[in-house]
Structure 1
Amino acid sequence: MSLTKLITPKAFVELLQKETSRRVVPVDSTWYLPNVNRSGKQEFLNQERIPHAVFFDIDSVKDANSPYPHMVPNLATFNKSMSELGLQRSDVLVVYDRIGNFSAPRCAWTLALFGHPSVYLLNNYNLYKRAGYSLDTTKRTAYSEFPRTDYKSDVDLIKEKVVSYEDMLQLVQHGELAQHFNVYDARPLGRFDGSVPEPRPGLSSGHIMGVQPLPFKELLEPESGAFPQSPEDMKCKLNEVMAKLKVSYNPQLPTIVMCGTGVSACIILTALELAGIRDVKLYDGSWTEWVMRSDPSLVIKGRE
């Protein structure tokens, strides 16, 4: 089952005009890596945004008891956060980030993980802005203009869609990870092979044995950061990148994706699903959790 549906800027604007029975709500989920020293949350209030957007903060809608960034929240936390944004189960949510397709896939994945009925990923903000569609440039004082609601979902797909550290560790220690799963890491090649440092101070770069590199930027259009729109084009792009990187895919195996903290992994998760690959799971703790919890001997440098 694919969790993500793309929508072009043109189709989004048409949806806004045609939909009369439900609210169509843009969801800004802009987030930056910590070494960039920018705040998507503050920029939402002070800079441009799609009109009537709410801000979904992946730094706060998470498991607050975990020491690792962006770990998926429980259902109660998700419902509370959606209520605070004034969202309703009937809303059509169109997710974007102002980078292009960086953190928005993670937000869209989270919304679908907890069963929001209608979620689209805008493909993408750069193309929306380039087309001259409406923007709100007034300063805001709140992350939503809607009154609080009582949002209630009873859908929780964590067990089906999320892989734990314990699951990964057992597979790696038994040398069975690559035997049972296709596993791809969305980080840049330098961080994957250990030649470039991680953006988080004190963390070693490298990768997990049995994991293959699939840098997320390779799967997006270089100028806009958009996904190829059609499944055929996405599959072609994916095949080209895998061939270039000498990365393999076994259609008989399920797939796991990871990255630094579980954000950009959702970019390649989206790309894989758009290309027709099903049964894709996320190792949510990703490289940050792996380095912080596992023995240093389980950090691999170079390419296997």
Structure 2
Amino acid sequence: MSLYKLITPKKFVELVAKETARRVVPVDATWYMPNLNKDAKKEFLTVERIPHAVYFDIVGIKDTKSPYPHMVPDLDTFNKGMSQLGIQRDDILVVYDRIGNFSSPRCAWTIGLFEHPNVYLLNNFNLYKEAGYPLDTTKTEKFTEFAESDYKADTSLAIDEVVSYENMVNLVKTGDIKSKYNVVDARALPRFEGSAPEPRPEIPSGHVPGANPLPFPEVLNGETKAFPETTEEMAKQLQEVTKKLGYTIDQKKPTIAMCGTGVTGTIIKTALEHAGLKMVRLYDGSWTEWAQRSGPELIAKNRD
């Protein structure tokens, strides 16, 4: 079950208008791949944002002790990051990114891991902007307009939501990865098949033996980058994509989503849950960890 809900721009605007007892706080989680040479934080301050938005830095609020990017933070790191943004436990959070649905699913999932009561994923900023809803284009020097809070999450659902490298190795070596699980990888097909390089030159391309490709753009609208609105539409799109790629997802099996660094894996995780799948977890270290910790025997090139 998803840790957050999708919300359309129209429903978001209506929520802001009618909610009087609690704050509705937009959360900008825009992040760009390093090879794009774009500064998401600077854009938040100088270009545009949804009014009253705060900026959640997925590069900063993470497991700082891990050598791998974007790994789930511990409780103290998460609470400190949320406190610095002035977030309160009873706030209704609506997460978005200015790309569409790229880094925001990762942020919404992270916040949901720590059981924030009300988390939505805006579906999506492109449609919000296209509809002419309010934007703040004034320049600012702050990533939040709220005073620092004392945010306290007490638990993390990571043990239920996250798959470790050791778990993945065991699944591969026992053969359970194919017989008992669906494993889907959000990276581009040429990277998955080992015919194109990874963005990080020190990492070989290829895939985890037993995994199947599910390139994340395939689960979104090609123009708006939005998820289909209904469960039925999402399920149909997934079925068409996997059929084209030559496999099917067994809904009776638990599913593990992954990608390059744990960001776009949450896009396909969102799509799978939106389509009705109940048991979907994330391999957080994803291909960056797998390729750096595994020998050649655990890196597949050809499709199984």
Q: Name the TM-score, length of structure 1 as normaliser.
A: 0.98
Identity over aligned pairs, percent: 62
Cα offset, 1:302, TM superposition? 2.5
Report the equivalent of 1:270. Answer: 270
Report the equivalent of 1:67. Answer: 67
CA contact (8 A) 1:182 1:250 kept: yes
Report the equivalent of 2:117. Answer: 117
1:253 aligns with 2:253: yes
Q: Deviations over 1:92-132 (max 9, x none)?
A: 00000000000000000011111000000000000000001
In the alignment, the residues of structure 1 paired with residue 155 and residue 179 of structure 2 have an alpha-carbon distance, to the nearest angstrom, of: 31
Counterpart of 2:31 in 1: which secondary structure?
Answer: coil
Counterpart of 1:206 in 2: which secondary structure?
Answer: coil
Counterpart of 2:78 in 1: which secondary structure?
Answer: helix
Cα offset, 1:265, TM superposition? 0.3
Q: Deviations over 1:79-98 (max 9, x none)?
A: 11100000000000000000
**What value does the CA root-mean-square deviation take over the aligned residues?**
0.9
For structure 1, list consecutive stretches of 5 or more residues without a partner in the other structure.
none
In the alignment, the residues of structure 2 paired with residue 41 and residue 167 of structure 1 have an alpha-carbon distance, to the nearest angstrom, of: 35
In the alignment, the residues of structure 2 paired with residue 191 and residue 39 of structure 1 have an alpha-carbon distance, to the nearest angstrom, of: 25
In the alignment, the residues of structure 1 paired with residue 227 and residue 247 of structure 2 have an alpha-carbon distance, to the nearest angstrom, of: 20
CA contact (8 A) 1:34 1:200 kept: no
- What amino acid sits opposite 2:277 in the alignment? I
Report the equivalent of 1:44. Answer: 44
Counterpart of 2:115 in 1: which secondary structure?
Answer: coil
Counterpart of 2:237 in 1: which secondary structure?
Answer: helix
Report the equivalent of 2:284. Answer: 284
Greater Cα shift, 245-254 or 160-169: 245-254
Q: Name the TM-score, length of structure 2 as normaliser.
A: 0.98
In the alignment, the residues of structure 2 paired with residue 63 and residue 245 of structure 1 have an alpha-carbon distance, to the nearest angstrom, of: 34
In the alignment, the residues of structure 2 paired with residue 182 and residue 257 of structure 1 have an alpha-carbon distance, to the nearest angstrom, of: 8
Cα offset, 1:170, TM superposition? 1.5
Q: Deviations over 1:167-217 (max 9, x none)?
A: 111111233211221100000101100111111121111101000000110
Please give the residue correspondences for 1:21-100 in structure 2 after superposition, counting only pairs within 5 Å: 21-100=21-100
Q: Deviations over 1:58-94 (max 9, x none)?
A: 0011000000000100111111110000000000000
CA contact (8 A) 2:4 2:118 kept: no
Cα offset, 1:38, TM superposition? 1.0
Counterpart of 1:184 in 2: which secondary structure?
Answer: strand
Counterpart of 1:183 in 2: which secondary structure?
Answer: strand
In the alignment, the residues of structure 2 paired with residue 178 and residue 251 of structure 1 have an alpha-carbon distance, to the nearest angstrom, of: 14
In the alignment of these two chains, the number of paired residues is 304
CA contact (8 A) 1:4 1:270 kept: no
Report the equivalent of 2:181. Answer: 181
Counterpart of 2:197 in 1: which secondary structure?
Answer: coil
For structure 2, list consecutive stretches of 5 or more residues without a partner in the other structure.
none
CA contact (8 A) 2:239 2:248 kept: no
Counterpart of 2:128 in 1: which secondary structure?
Answer: helix
CA contact (8 A) 1:213 1:247 kept: no
- What amino acid sits opposite 1:285 in the alignment? G
Report the equivalent of 1:171. Answer: 171
In the alignment, the residues of structure 2 paired with residue 7 and residue 55 of structure 1 have an alpha-carbon distance, to the nearest angstrom, of: 19
CA contact (8 A) 1:4 1:119 kept: yes
In the alignment, the residues of structure 1 paired with residue 9 and residue 176 of structure 2 have an alpha-carbon distance, to the nearest angstrom, of: 43
Report the equivalent of 2:227. Answer: 227
Counterpart of 1:281 in 2: which secondary structure?
Answer: strand
In the alignment, the residues of structure 2 paired with residue 172 and residue 156 of structure 1 have an alpha-carbon distance, to the nearest angstrom, of: 27
In the alignment, the residues of structure 2 paired with residue 228 and residue 298 of structure 1 have an alpha-carbon distance, to the nearest angstrom, of: 35
Cα offset, 1:57, TM superposition? 0.4
Greater Cα shift, 29-38 or 257-266: 29-38
1:105 aligns with 2:105: yes
